[in-house]
Structure 1
Amino acid sequence: MMRPLTVILTFAAAFALPALADPIDGATARDQLFKPTPSAAQTVPQAFLSEAEMAIVAQVAATQAYYGAMAVAPGDGLMSNATVAAANYHDLEQARVAALTSCNARREKAEACVIVAEIVPKGHEPRAFQLSSAATEAFNKDYKRGRGPKAMAISASTGQWAVVKAEDAAAQAVADCAAAAHATDCVVAVQD
């Protein structure tokens, strides 16, 4: 459910590869991930927003979890029901898609929504494997601890994730992710 200036928070994880062929192991994932916090907001100036409004965008975006994006409907303005921030996705592209889709569904004027801010991890540079801030935290706290069979499944479209430690960890992680995400794109991203 989205509201004006509401963040689409999905406590989940997925990464930025076009398609996951094979899961990676925990050590490889650990080496690729950013710290779960802090996020860095990068504004995308738009002519229809004043400097004061862009300052509001920067302030709101700075409080969101990575990966995220904020969209505004130019004809409706910043303080409209169409303004939305989508946060805690596994990559910037999925966050952009979510923000624009929600904004366009809510706008009242004809002009399509545009991205006004992007939220990335502090010190961000492109990497082969990425998880959302919440999923990275879960990887560090839940996945890395303990031995034995384990898997982490993610949904790129929703940002959802699941960690399971069991003999059939991969199948259970995909099922748990799908149940939480209400999506069919859950795949095993990390497995040991």
Structure 2
Amino acid sequence: MRKLAAVLGGVLCCAAPVLAEPMGAEAAGALLYPAKGSAVEMLPQDVLSETDVKALTMVGTGQPYYGAIAISPSEGLMVEATVAAVNHHSTEAAEAAALKGCEEKRKGEAACAVVALIRPEGWEARDLQLSSDATAAVQGDYTAPGALAISGSTGMFGLAKGTDAGAAAVAACEEKAKAGDCVVAVAD
């Protein structure tokens, strides 16, 4: 099980959708899930054994949401190409990161495939989705006036307080993400 956890820890980053307008903290709070508590959805596939599925489910529930697990179907589960991308702002971004990481490490002939999604317990689509860590920041450290900026390609985020919090949050996000795509998601 330790080897599986190490293999699945291959990619731990985040990503987020582009937002049209920032949302206030009160409205954001009503849409966010608790920062802890993940559930795994296994996707249809025909390469993993029942034991593999149980192991992925067990390991995946301990990971921060949103996430995805990709494997190289012709290599099996316990290889370097098995990648878990977690702590993103959406499963779509996590899928892209997991597939990219898997493809970079794949030695088998078959293209990598996402076999599992990691979402908050009781997940349903909502207008705002933030990673576990960004959710914890909004629920714990955020104060008005303030802002939280997120990166769509890396999932990093920045949190800032004060009158120019939006620009400061974007700068803090960009310092970590270095992707040029940070946007303010929550602001008061």
TM-score, reference length from structure 2: 0.92
Aligned pairs for 1:159-178 (under 5 A) are 159-178=155-174
Match of 1:4 among 7, 18, 32: 7
Q: Distance in 1 between matches of 2:15 and 2:52?
A: 31
What amino acid maps onto 2:11 in structure 1?
I
CA displacement at 1:169 relative to structure 2: 0.9
2:154 paired residue among 155, 158, 167: 158
Q: 2:11·2:101 contact (CA, 8 Å) conserved in 1? A: no
Tell whether the 8 Å contact from 1:45 to 1:54 is kept in structure 2 after alignment.
Answer: no
Cα deviations by residue, 1:20-43 (Å, 9 ceiling, x for unpaired): 221111111111111111111111
1:24-35 equivalent positions in 2, closer than 5 A:
24-35=23-34
Conserved 8 A contact 1:73-1:113: yes
Q: Which blocks of at least 5 consecutive residues in structure 1 are unaligned? A: none
Within 1, Cα distance between the matches of 2:38 and 2:83? Answer: 18
Q: 1:109 to 1:7 in 2, by over 3 A?
A: closer
- The match for 2:176 is 180
TM-score normalised by length of structure 1? 0.90
For residues 9 and 179 of structure 1, do their structure 2 counterparts lie closer, same or farther at Cα, with a shift above 3 Å needed? same
Separation in 2 of the partners of 1:89 and 1:7? Answer: 14
Aligned mates of 2:34, 2:94 — CA distance in 1 = 19
2:15/2:94 contact within 8 Å kept: no
1:118 match: secondary structure: strand
Give the conservation status (yes or no) of the 8 Å contact 1:5–1:84: yes
4+ runs of 1 displaced by more than 3 Å? none
**Partner amino acid for 2:39?**
A
SS in 2 for 1:8: coil
Shift of 1:6: 1.4
How far is the alpha carbon of 1:5 from its aligned partner?
A: 2.0
Percent identity, aligned pairs only, is 46
Corresponding residue number in structure 2 for 1:81: 80
Verify the 8 A CA contact 1:13 1:135 in the aligned structure 2: no
CA distance in 1, matches of 2:95, 2:27: 27
Work out the number of aligned pairs and report it: 183
C-alpha contact 2:147 2:161 (8 A) present in aligned 1:
yes
Q: What letter corresponds to residue 33 of structure 2 in structure 1?
A: F
Give the residue type in structure 2 aligned to 1:65.
P
Pairwise CA distance, 1:76: 1.3
CA distance in 2, matches of 1:77, 1:152: 39
Whole-angstrom distance in 1 between the partners of 2:149 and 2:103: 30
Distance 1:63 1:71 in 2: 17
1:191 aligns with 2:164: no
Matched, 1:103 2:138: no
Q: Is the 8 A contact 1:7 1:64 kept in 2?
A: no
Q: Give distance in 2, aligned partners of 1:56 and 1:22.
A: 40
